A and B are shown apart, each in its own frame.
Chain A
Amino acid sequence: NAGVTQTPKFQVLKTGQSMTLQCAQDMNHNSMYWYRQDPGMGLRLIYYSASEGTTDKGEVPNGYNVSRLNKREFSLRLESAAPSQTSVYFCASSEEKGNTEAFFGQGTRLTVV
């Protein structure tokens, strides 16, 4: 079982470039999430999608946009990358909202130079 698949695994961007992080889950989960993880900060929620067709801001949404393309896919877009967005990004999904186990993708290590 693939679970949650993220692409790419690694990326280096120049300041001002844009990119989209892709995420897909095959567990028929309703809810999907994007987190970033920085040293000493823990995981911080960027955006989430409670169900297909809905998205909401999390704790640190500035500089990001998301699209819930269908039930399986939830993408994260950086329109104009900044060095402060250097981080490890994790996509996650759960059956419903945050009271149930979240399954994470393997992460995307993004460096903005």
Chain B
Amino acid sequence: RKEVEQDPGPFNVPEGATVAFNCTYSNSASQSFFWYRQDCRKEPKLLMSVYSSGNEDGRFTAQLNRASQYISLLIRDSKLSDSATYLCVVTDTGGFKTIFGAGTRLFVKA
């Protein structure tokens, strides 16, 4: 079993749609959680951190369920510019073993 698993997609959605990505992790002692965004042939960039209480940044909402070892990302009112690969990232209690999921590809169509 991979340490961080994501549905690879692709997700094809129309503009304005709401789309949700899920991610599961295997290490119950994991400490920190993030969503990164990676555009085609570009470097990953931080989208948002994920907190136990859940957090929102504009159209993006991230949730963490430690009991189920599950992270989610919700994108509301999708824009063409949201088309990218979304990477789920988990770090262990030591903070150095940072594991990236393989990513979920999103295509937003006009």
The digit string for B16-50, where 1 denotes a CB below 8 A from any CB of A, is 00000000000000011010000000111110010
| Given known contacts A40-B102, A42-B100, A42-B102, A90 and B43 CB-to-CB distance under 8 angstroms | yes
Interface residues on B, range: 20 to 34
Query: Which of B54-62, B63-71, B91-99 forms contacts with chain A?
Result: B91-99
The reply on B73 being an interface residue by CB < 8 A is no
| Given known contacts A41-B102, A43-B100, A99 and B32 CB-to-CB distance under 8 angstroms | yes
CB distance A42 to B91 under 8 Å?
Answer: no
Residues of chain A within 8 A of B101, CB atoms compared: 42
CB distance B97 to A43 under 8 Å?
Answer: no
CB distance B95 to A98 under 8 Å?
Answer: yes
Docked Cα-Cα span, A106 to B95, in Å, equals: 24
Number of interface residues, chain A, beta carbon within 8 A:
24
CB distance A42 to B43 under 8 Å?
Answer: no
Docked Cα-Cα span, A104 to B12, in Å, equals: 27
The reply on A110 being an interface residue by CB < 8 A is no
The digit string for A31-49, where 1 denotes a CB below 8 A from any CB of B, is 0010100001111110010
Pick from A41, A96, A104 the residue with the most CB of B within 10 Å: A104
The reply on A79 being an interface residue by CB < 8 A is no
CB distance A40 to B43 under 8 Å?
Answer: no
Chain B residue, CB-CB nearest to A41: B102
Contact of A42 among B32, B34, B87 (CB under 8 A): B87
> Would you list the 10 A-B pairs with minimal beta carbon distance, nearest first?
A97-B95, A104-B43, A42-B102, A43-B100, A98-B91, A98-B98, A42-B100, A99-B32, A101-B46, A98-B95
Residues of chain A at the chain B interface (Cβ within 8 Å): 33, 35, 40-45, 48, 50, 56, 58-59, 90, 96-99, 101-102, 104-107
